[in-house]
Chains A and B, each alone.
Chain A
Amino acid sequence: MHGRGKWAALGGGLLFCWAAQAQTILTNYQDGTQNIVFVGPDQHIYQIVATGSTWVSADVTAAAGLPVAATGTALSSFVDGNAIGISFFGSNQHAYEAVYVAGQGWSGVDVTAAANLPAAAVGSALTTYLDGDQNWVYQGASQHIYEAVFNGAWSGFDVTAASGLPTAASGTAISSFVDGNAIGISFFGSNQHAYEAFYLGQGWVEWM
């Protein structure tokens, strides 16, 4: 499903035939249906959805009215109640989210601008998680880890500064989890050690 292959008939007969990029980035999610999301050669975000025996496709970028994705962008997705979020970096290195709400269709938001955060570094990872709020995490050009949070209102945090952890390695992987009331954001430092910033409701702390 990566490389320069193109989609052929899948399941009951799909017919979406975009050749994906040479290094296709994929994300997937389940919301009662199976959904696969990738970046097309025109830097649009595409979604294919399995609905029973039928596959349907959508140009998410066009539907949400968002700018095209940066070459090699990371992709992340989540399902939050009846809303679906698909996030990526635009060519200005802002994080964007295409949001689908059943009955309302697609809309788009500039996450970086809304959270008043700096742009991401070129090639930054992007991870998203839900903890009651919606959260986006990426690396800035300063090699700090930044987090955008939406809980009805937008806010942004410099996780590196708040936790006191060292700056991340350029191009670090980023991973996150929610463990009960604790949130962990992990990345590699410039010494290639794995670090975790830990949040327990009272601010970010360095975790070992």
Chain B
Amino acid sequence: MSELRKDLVSGRWVIIATERSKRPDDFRPASPEKKESASVFCPFCMGNESKTPPEVFALRESGTPPDGPGWRVRVVTNKFPALSPGAPPPKSAKGIFQWMPGVGVHEVIIENPDHDKELSDLETSHISDVLLVYRERIKAIEEGLHYQYVQIFKNKGKEAGASLSHPHSQIVATPIVPKRVKEEVYGSERLFRTLKECIFCRTLREETSLNERLILRNDRFFVIAPFASRSPFEMAIYPLRHSPFFTSAGEEELASLAGVLKTVLTRLKTTLSDPPFNLILHQAPNPTVSQKAWPGIEQYFHWHIEILPVLTKVAGFEWGTGFYINPVPPETAAGYLREDK
């Protein structure tokens, strides 16, 4: 019989198919995803900087001018953004319908100059640079105070929403705190009141003691297949040091996270033949907003990263109910992802 499992923080239910569990081979594509070739054209490749908006941040060789070659990580604003920068005006309403102008930030982080080198193919020091750029951009955008939430995410592969295969991440900052973020914040606050401790720190303790879904642990981070995983081979990475803000991560912590990311993304790649995935950073809203709206958030929220391989389709049942159906129990997934092949 299948199991219904509840994600405590979000309140979301998941159907885990414990019988006839699928194996990694069941998800291997018949043929690998066809990537567009860098030889055709890629606006993110080194040498094509003139096709992007001017860089807002870059890690580059000393002495090289902006918007030319010589960079390792490059951040540009979206050339055709859905949201435009600026101070958010108040919400408007007509009857029951509310709206506000589309104000926000949309930036693209080009993770490396090489079109064919995925994040997991980079040296750990380079992945650490990408994480450092995440941190610095979040800090800079949050200082503007216009934006209540800064979301960093990475879509890898067409099925996961990436339109170009050149490795990149994206930053979208919004003038409101998104619903899912609010659900996580309220959920962790509610659990803090009940448990008298951070739910994420408690999860770390219980997962370590059970050792059923633990994938990896080092002196600064732990990676699990979450108890109520929505997607087969879903992973969550948590820092051992409790903090609601990714921006509090120091350089040593980022270097350690880079090593963890390299390991788990490489395992995902080898276990499932390079699947499409979404990587999402979950952190507390802009500290100025958080401290006003959620006093005490420092105690109960804990930043983390989710990696969701795109191996199943979200369809009518999921949209209608908010339930997900996962054909691979996280305990089984963790077993495969723990193995160092």
Do these two chains interact? Answer: no
Interface residues of B (CB under 8 A from A): none
Interface residues of A (CB under 8 A from B): none
